[in-house]
């Protein structure tokens, strides 16, 4: 992996990131579908608290790569290490329990449950209370508090958590506005307090206002969690990322800080040139 | 157990397997192409049997009665498709299960309303009344042999239709990927009616041919339907090859099982195992391969 | 919308209270036919709500639930042959056997989903059906008469329709309370979450399988309770009690009333039993009309009885 980075302002932060052991390390990942190689010898890493962005044209294999890291797809070759341990034989829930969370491009919510109940399930998962058969979830103060925190984190707290005075029904998640669904999806990703969040195109399909709010939100969360961000919106990526890797044709053609990627001739040729 | 007996049972198993195949193909096509779970498919087999029984009382020439029975089934299946099935295609599995279960209850009772509670019997055509010598000592009924042959021919015709014609190509595309049908620019409504009628006719063909072998009575198609469902699950939903392989396997397993298990395990347990063997096989297959032997898509 | 939802729940509460009051009064009238009808409704109410735990809350469409009902029936018929009549032995044994079969078959069938799950639950029910049918010493296909009824502590017999009706009503009320409590628990929330979006649940670190397996076991055991009641009602045990038709009828009750409401399926069972009685009094071919009603329910009625009462749509 590349380590030739030019300090740009947040020099101290950058140094700290360089020194720490990576949270996630992917080595030589290969995935083929028949003759088609969708992931070709990909190696990359994410350090604790780092926002590492993955960009690339359509069909570059970004989502496939994320799937292999989260465990939904099985790579043909290569290794995935998380917190110093090899995880590529573990199923999705097992990786999640170790702190590797994922948010999806198309929100995956518990549609019939209220946003607070969605977040409550995340808390049930975190504290492993799923086999409590008698305690009511809806009136459990510990769940409510955790749900409030999870929703507040993405700015949905006041808007969507049930008012204690309101005994009537709250809208289920399936009836939320699109932007709110995306925020709730993000809240669900962070709710388990993961060490690393895989974030798949959080800006796709959002209007300018929602999009700006999402960028601001990601900026506020940056540093607290390791984030591997897949995103099409190149401007947002340059504004947010500590490091950027460029994926073209299943292969990482460049990796480094934003300034370096912006000027990299290979990137300009293969990717930025095309899109402008 | 003598070689002759084994041969005879093998023929029986083959025949049973082919009838199951005629049923299973319909189940798997309806699910693959229309995304429909059809528990009323057994009714089609039963209707075929009742129609041949009724037609045989009016028409003396067997081939004519045969064709009449199939045509009546085709009419019934078109009615069923238009009135009940079409709105179901877009509904959930639960709704489909319930509605088609309702159809099967109603049709089971309707045949009682029309033809009474007593079982009906159909005579096989005279020219198929003889036997064929398999070995020096064992002879096999010609009619049963004919059933196997006709079922195999129907299977072959279906294969030719699916493999060699444009219609077949579209049906296969639909069975493997239901979303694709609309994209092919096909008249989806007609294609669906076509698939439903073909499915129903295959089941009815089974019923028409079984008529002279088993009592024609209300609910006669249900056990066969449940077996066919097991066949579809074992073979893998949407896979025609799976349906064929599993049908023959189930037909042979069931036929030989009825002979072997009681020998090995005593009458009581042996008979239970013989009756349940297909479902036990199905459980084993699902335990190892949750989408069947040749299943390619999660249903 | 709050006053409306209050009004709706008040309307539902009044309807339920009225229904329960009628059910409690009827056995006092000394009309065995109606007393037995109440018992029948309560019995199928328990069966339907146990299936609702699977269909409604977990989204698991089981077409083999009658197997567990039948296991209850056979336990209530077999144990008296061993000299055991006490309800506090028969019911736990029945629930244990059904729960065990549920757990074992669930281990396999819950690996499958969708269409496969529907068919494999049917297959597991067929296996039990053929076992019952193969037991020739127990009458095989014809079944057998209950040698003796189940006895309550104190000696009251479930062969007495009044005792049976009140016992099953009590069991139904308990079952409703238990099922509601279960569905609202942490466990219940995970089950619903797995139904809504299994991918999300997995990405949060939970695998749905163990939760579904536990739920499947509970629902199986609960249905056996209904089976014990049914054996005492008809004083008979036969493979017919676990045929696929019965499984289909249970599903119908659930959907008739609205899935995932507990109360809805109980109402569905009440209406189903009532419908069965009325139709069979009117015509010999009542099954034909039952089938037609089933089709019409799916094609035309957009919401179940629960929805009609509360004004809440099912889908």
Tens of pLDDT along B122-180? 888 888 888 887 777 778 888 888 888 898 898 888 888 888 888 888 777 766 665 66
User: How distant is the Cα of C299 from the closest Cα of chain A, in angstroms?
Assistant: 23
Contact residues on chain A for C199, CB-CB shorter than 8 A: 104, 108
Residue-level pLDDT at C15: 86
**A275 and A201 in one domain?**
yes
Decide: B and A in contact? Rule: 3+ Cβ pairs under 8 Å. Answer: no
Q: What is the pLDDT of residue C58?
A: 95
Query: Per the CB < 8 Å rule, is C134 touching B272?
Result: yes
C255 chain-B contacts, CB cut-off 8 A: 94-95, 98
Rounded mean pLDDT of A104-120? 91
Interface predicted TM-score of the whole assembly (ipTM), two decimals: 0.88
> Which pLDDT score is estimated for B62?
86
pLDDT tens for C89-137 read 999 999 999 999 999 999 999 998 888 899 899 999 999 999 999 888 8
Cα(B41)–Cα(B34) distance, rounded to whole angstroms? 14
Give the C-alpha separation, B70 to A58, whole Å.
53
Q: Give the model's pLDDT for residue C281.
A: 92
CA dist A107 and A204 (Å) reads: 11
Residues A134 and A19 in one domain: no
Residue A82 counted as domain residue: yes
Nearest CA in chain A to C208: A93
Give the tens place of pLDDT for each residue, C255-309: 888 888 899 999 999 999 999 999 999 999 999 999 999 999 888 876 667 777 7
Using the CB atoms, write b or e for C255-290: b if 16+ within 10 Å: bbbbbbbbbbbbbbbbbbbebbbebeeeeeebbbbb
Question: Same structural domain for residues A81 and A128?
Answer: no
| Mean of pLDDT over chain B | 86
| Neighbouring chains to C with at least 3 Cβ pairs closer than 8 Å | A, B
Kindly tell me the burial class for residue B143, based on how many C-beta atoms sit within 10 Å of its own C-beta (0-12, 13-18, 19 or more). Answer: middle
pLDDT, average across residues B209-214:
87
Are the Cβ atoms of B287 and C111 closer than 8 angstroms?
yes
Q: Produce one character per residue of C178-204: b if its CB has 16 or more CB atoms within 10 Å, e if not.
A: bbbebbbbbbbbbbbbbbbbbebbbbb
Task: State whether C197 and A110 contact (CB < 8 Å).
Answer: yes
Same domain, A48 and A160: no
Checking if the pLDDT of A231 tops 80, the result is yes
What does the pLDDT read at residue C181? 94
Residues of B with Cβ-Cβ distance to C297 under 8 angstroms = 98, 102
- pLDDT tens-digit profile of B276-293? 888 989 888 888 888 888
Residues on chain B touching C113 (C-beta within 8 angstroms): 290, 298-299
Whether residue C311 is contained in a domain is answered as: no
**Are A89 and A216 part of one and the same domain?**
yes
Give a yes or no: residue A181 inside a domain: yes
What pLDDT is attached to residue B298? 45
**Cβ–Cβ contact C2 with A under 8 A:** yes
Does the residue A172 lie in any domain?
yes
Is residue C10 situated within a structural domain?
A: no
Greatest mean pLDDT among A78-82, B223-227, B262-266, C218-222? C218-222
Same domain, A181 and A199: no
For chains B and C, having 3+ Cβ pairs within 8 Å is answered yes
Assign A233 a pLDDT band (cuts: 50, 70, 90): confident
How many domains does the structure of chain A reveal?
2
Say whether C115 and B279 touch across the interface (CB within 8 A).
no
Q: How far from chain centre, in Å, is Cα B94? A: 23
| A202 and A225 housed in the same domain | yes
Q: Are C247 and B101 in contact (CB under 8 A)?
A: no
Structural domain that includes position C59 = 37-242
| Minimal Cβ distance to B275: which of C134, C136, C299 | C134
Local confidence band at A21 (pLDDT 50, 70, 90 cut-offs):
confident
Output B184 or C156, whichever has higher pLDDT: C156
**Domain check: are A254 and A122 in the same one?**
no
In a domain, A76, yes or no: yes
Dist CA A252 CA A246 (whole Å): 5
Segment A141-151, tens digit of pLDDT? 999 999 989 99
Percent of chain B exceeding pLDDT 70 equals 94
Per-residue confidence band for B58, with pLDDT thresholds at 50, 70 and 90: confident
Does residue C137 belong to the interface with chain A, where contact is any CB pair within 8 Å? no
Nearest residue in chain C measured CA to CA from A104: C200
Residue A160's pLDDT is: 61
Express each pLDDT in B76-132 by its tens digit: 999 999 999 999 988 888 899 999 999 999 999 999 999 998 888 888 888 888 888
Residue A248 has pLDDT above 70, yes or no: yes
Last residue in a domain, options A164, A192, A220: A192
* Residue contact B106–C295, C-beta within 8 A: yes
Domain ranges of chain B: 3-218
**Residue C300 in contact with partner chain A when CB distance is under 8 A:** no
Q: Which residue of C has its CA nearest to B31?
A: C115
- Mark which of A166, A192, A218 sits at the end of a domain: A192
Pick A132's closest partner by Cβ from C185, C196, C200.
C185
| A226 located within any domain | yes
What is the domain range of residue A176?
Answer: 109-192
Which residues in B lie closer than 8 A to residue C299 (C-beta atoms)?
84, 87-88, 99
Q: Are residues A60 and A152 in the same domain?
A: no
Contact C299 B232 (CB under 8 A): no
List all chains that touch chain B, counting a touch as 3 or more CB pairs closer than 8 Å.
C
Q: Do C114 and B87 touch (CB under 8 A)?
A: no
Contact assignment for C251 to B104 by CB distance below 8 Å: no
Confidence of residue A273 (pLDDT cuts 50, 70, 90): low
Rounded to an integer, the average pLDDT of B50-59 is 89
pTM: 0.90
- For residue A196, the chain C residues in CB contact (below 8 A) are none
| Same domain flag for A131 and A164 | yes
From the list B226, B225, B246, the residue with the least C-alpha distance to B234 is B246
> Per the structure, how many domains does chain C have?
1
Whole-number Å distance between alpha carbons of A113 and A106: 17
Percent of chain A at pLDDT > 70 equals 86
Clarify whether residues A128 and A11 are in a common domain. no
Predicted pLDDT at B201: 94
Q: What is the pLDDT of residue C3?
A: 45
What is the average pLDDT across C207-213?
Answer: 96
pLDDT at residue A47 tops 80:
yes
Q: Which residues in chain C touch residue B93, judged by CB atoms under 8 angstroms apart?
A: 61, 114-115, 118
Judge if A94 and A1 occupy the same domain: yes
To test the contact with chain C by mutation, choose from A66, A93, A150 the residue with the greatest count of C C-beta atoms within 10 A, namely A93
Token couple for A97: 């329990």
């Amino acid at each position: 992996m590349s380590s030739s980075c030019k300090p740009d302002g947040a020099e101290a932060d950058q140094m700290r990131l360089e020194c720490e052991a990576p949270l996630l390390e992917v080595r030589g990942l290969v995935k083929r579908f028949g003759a088609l190689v969708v992931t070709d010898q990909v190696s990359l890493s994410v350090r604790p608290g780092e926002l590492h962005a993955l960009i690339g044209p359509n069909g570059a294999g970004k989502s496939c790569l994320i799937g292999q890291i989260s465990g939904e797809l099985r790579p043909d070759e290569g290794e995935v290490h998380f917190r110093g341990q090899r995880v590529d034989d573990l199923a999705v829930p097992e990786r999640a329990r170790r702190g590797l969370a994922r948010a999806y491009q198309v929100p995956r919510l518990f549609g019939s449950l209220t946003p607070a109940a969605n977040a409550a399930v995340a808390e049930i998962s975190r504290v492993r209370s799923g086999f409590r058969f008698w305690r009511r979830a809806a009136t459990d103060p510990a769940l409510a508090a955790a749900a409030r925190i999870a929703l507040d984190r993405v700015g949905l707290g006041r808007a969507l958590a049930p008012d204690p005075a309101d005994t009537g029904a709250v809208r289920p998640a399936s009836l939320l506005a699109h932007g709110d669904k995306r925020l709730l999806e993000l809240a669900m990703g962070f709710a388990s307090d993961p060490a690393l969040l895989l974030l798949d195109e959080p800006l796709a399909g959002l209007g300018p206002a929602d999009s700006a709010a999402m960028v601001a939100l990601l900026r506020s969360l940056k540093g607290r969690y390791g984030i591997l961000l897949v995103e099409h919106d190149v401007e947002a990526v340059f504004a947010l990322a500590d490091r950027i890797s460029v994926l073209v044709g299943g292969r990482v053609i460049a990796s480094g800080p934003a300034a370096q990627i912006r000027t990299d001739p290979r990137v300009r040729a293969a990717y930025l040139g095309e899109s402008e | 157990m003598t070689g002759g007996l084994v041969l005879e049972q093998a023929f029986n198993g083959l025949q049973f397997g082919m009838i199951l195949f005629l049923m299973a193909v319909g189940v798997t096509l309806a699910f693959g192409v229309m995304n429909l779970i059809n528990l009323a498919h057994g009714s089609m087999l039963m209707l075929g049997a009742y129609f041949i029984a009724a037609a045989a009382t009016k028409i003396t020439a067997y081939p004519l009665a045969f064709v009449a029975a199939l045509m009546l089934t085709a009419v019934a299946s078109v009615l069923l498709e238009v009135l009940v099935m079409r709105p179901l295609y877009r509904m959930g599995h639960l709704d489909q299960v319930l509605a088609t279960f309702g159809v099967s209850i109603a049709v089971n009772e309707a045949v009682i309303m029309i033809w009474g509670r007593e079982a009906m019997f159909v005579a096989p055509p005279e020219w198929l009344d003889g036997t064929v010598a398999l070995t020096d000592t064992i002879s096999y009924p010609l009619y049963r042999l004919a059933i196997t042959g006709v079922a195999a021919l129907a299977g072959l015709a279906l294969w030719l239709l699916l493999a060699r014609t444009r219609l077949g190509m579209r049906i296969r595309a639909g069975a493997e990927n239901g979303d694709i049908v609309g994209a092919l620019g096909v008249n989806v409504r007609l294609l669906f009616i076509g698939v439903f009628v073909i499915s129903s006719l295959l089941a009815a063909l089974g019923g028409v041919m079984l008529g002279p072998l088993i009592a024609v009575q209300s609910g006669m198609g249900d056990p066969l339907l449940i077996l066919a469902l097991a066949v579809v699950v074992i073979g893998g939903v949407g896979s025609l090859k799976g349906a064929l392989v599993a049908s023959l396997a189930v037909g042979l397993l069931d036929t030989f099982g009825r002979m072997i298990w009681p020998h090995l395990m005593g009458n009581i347990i042996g008979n239970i195992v013989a009756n349940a063997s297909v479902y036990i096989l199905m459980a084993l297959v699902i335990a190892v391969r949750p989408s069947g032997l040749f299943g390619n898509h999660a249903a | 919308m709050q006053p409306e939802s209050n009004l709706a729940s008040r309307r539902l509460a009044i309807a339920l209270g009225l229904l329960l009051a009628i059910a409690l009064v009827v056995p006092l009238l000394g009309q065995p036919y109606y007393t037995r009808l109440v018992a029948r409704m309560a019995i199928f109410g328990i069966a339907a709500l146990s299936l609702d735990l699977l269909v409604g809350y977990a989204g698991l469409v089981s077409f083999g639930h009658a197997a567990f009902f039948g296991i209850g029936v056979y336990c209530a018929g077999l144990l008296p042959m061993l000299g055991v009549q006490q309800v506090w032995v028969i019911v736990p044994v029945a629930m244990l056997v059904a729960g065990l079969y549920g757990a074992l078959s669930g281990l396999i069938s819950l690996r499958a989903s969708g269409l496969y799950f529907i068919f494999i639950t049917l297959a597991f029910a067929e296996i039990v059906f053929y076992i019952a049918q193969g037991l020739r010493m127990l009458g095989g296909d014809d079944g057998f008469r209950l040698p003796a009824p189940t006895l309550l502590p104190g000696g009251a017999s479930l062969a007495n329709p009044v005792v049976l009706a009140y016992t099953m009503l009590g069991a139904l009320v308990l079952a409703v309370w238990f099922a509601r409590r279960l569905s609202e628990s942490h466990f219940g929330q995970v089950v619903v979450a797995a139904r809504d979006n299994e991918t999300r649940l997995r990405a949060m670190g939970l695998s749905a399988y163990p939760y579904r397996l536990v739920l499947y076991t509970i629902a199986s055991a609960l249905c056996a309770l209904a089976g014990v009641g049914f054996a005492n009602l008809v004083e008979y045990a036969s493979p017919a009690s676990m045929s696929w038709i019965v499984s289909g009828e249970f599903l119908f009750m659930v959907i008739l009333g609205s899935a995932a409401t507990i109360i809805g399926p109980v109402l569905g069972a009440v209406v189903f039993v009532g419908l069965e009685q009325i139709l069979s009094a009117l015509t010999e071919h009542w099954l034909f009309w039952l089938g037609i009603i089933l089709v019409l329910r799916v094609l035309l009625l957009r919401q179940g009885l629960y929805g009609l009462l509360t004004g809440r749509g099912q889908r």
